[in-house]
């Protein structure tokens, strides 16, 4: 059980564009997390849903010992090329292949919301944390604070109808559900903040490649075809094209840190 099989097929479609363009849109959240965590050479960190390893690289540069896990083999292969010194593995976030009390820090950047069961994934993250260890999770901010919600809406209209009660991309944000789950599993929240994240693409072509590389878009492409999806997302980009041709979205990410 878990999300690995489903998510691996979605996120493995355009790994090069994800690595080159879209993964960097999380930079503001990565930097904020590092400021909160204040990693040292004594820390052992696991990044859950590590993608192509951008945050792992930043954490590794602090001197911390770092490992990464992701559902998608194609992303993991690129992570290994980015930082060969870091052990990256493919696996399931709801059944982490690590022993109890192994890590000082566990992070997850826009990853826990893709779990089949978020509570299970966060409970696994807690299990592998040492007593007193920190868990940092980044999710979307409030929908009204995220201009990128426009491209998600455009893609969502071309996806198969979700089952009744299926969570959307902002489910963990609404009513501070992420924080509620963390408290429910016995974690103590020490910081929760909405961080401004400006997505700045040099041109519309680059923006389109980056946005289409996100895993959920593969679902829309499989259901409606690449032409319809490209047309819809291209149209959704137009309001954010500036006079110099750049594409700029103003968004917020919520970064929450809790202690075991």
Predicted confidence (pLDDT) per residue in 128-160, tens digit: 999 999 999 999 999 999 999 999 999 999 988
Mean pLDDT, each 10-residue run in order, the chain (260 residues): 73 92 97 98 98 98 98 96 97 97 98 94 98 98 96 91 75 96 98 98 98 91 94 97 98 98
Q: At what angle do helices 215-224 and 4-11 cross, to 10 degrees?
A: 80
Separation between Cα atoms, residue 21 and residue 10, nearest integer Å: 17
φ and ψ of 39, to 5 deg: -65, 150
- 127 vs 103: CA distance, rounded Å: 9
Task: Report the helix count and the strand count for the chain, using DSSP H and E.
Answer: 11, 7
Q: How many CB atoms lie within 10 A of CB 121?
A: 27
Closest by CA to 172, choosing from 124, 108, 217, 106, is 108
Domain ranges of the chain: 4-146+164-199+251-259
CB 253 within 8 Å of CB 145: no
> Is 31:136 a contact under the CB 8 Å cutoff?
no
Q: Which CATH number, 3.40.190.10, 3.30.1330.10, 3.40.605.10, 3.40.50.150, labels domain 4-146+164-199+251-259?
A: 3.40.50.150
Tokens for 43? 């820390």
Q: How far is residue 48's CA from residue 19's CA, in Å, rounded to a whole number?
A: 16
pLDDT of residue 165: 64
């Amino acid at each position: 059980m878990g999300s690995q099989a489903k998510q691996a097929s979605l996120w493995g479609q355009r790994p090069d564009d994800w690595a080159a363009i879209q993964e960097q849109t999380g930079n503001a959240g990565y930097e904020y997390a590092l400021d909160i965590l204040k990693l040292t050479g004594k820390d052992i960190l696991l990044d859950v849903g590590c993608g192509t390893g951008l945050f792992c690289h930043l954490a590794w540069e602090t001197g911390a010992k770092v490992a990464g896990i992701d559902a998608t083999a194609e992303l993991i292969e690129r992570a290994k090329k980015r930082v060969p010194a870091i052990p990256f593995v493919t696996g399931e976030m709801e059944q982490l292949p690590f022993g109890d009390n192994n890590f000082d820090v566990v992070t997850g950047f826009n990853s826990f919301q893709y779990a089949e069961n978020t509570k299970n994934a966060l409970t696994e993250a807690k299990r592998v944390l040492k007593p007193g260890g920190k868990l940092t999770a980044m999710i979307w901010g409030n929908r009204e604070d995220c201009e990128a919600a426009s491209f998600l809406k455009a893609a969502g209209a071309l996806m198969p109808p979700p089952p009744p009660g299926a969570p959307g991309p902002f489910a963990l944000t609404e009513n501070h559900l992420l924080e509620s789950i963390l408290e429910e599993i016995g974690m103590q929240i020490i910081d929760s903040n909405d961080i401004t994240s400006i997505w700045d693409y040099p041109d519309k072509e680059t923006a389109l490649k980056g946005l289409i590389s996100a895993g959920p878009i593969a679902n829309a492409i499989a259901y409606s075809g690449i032409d319809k999806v490209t047309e819809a997302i291209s149209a959704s980009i137009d309001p954010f094209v500036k006079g110099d041709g750049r594409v700029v979205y103003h968004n917020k990410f919520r970064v929450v840190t809790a202690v075991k």
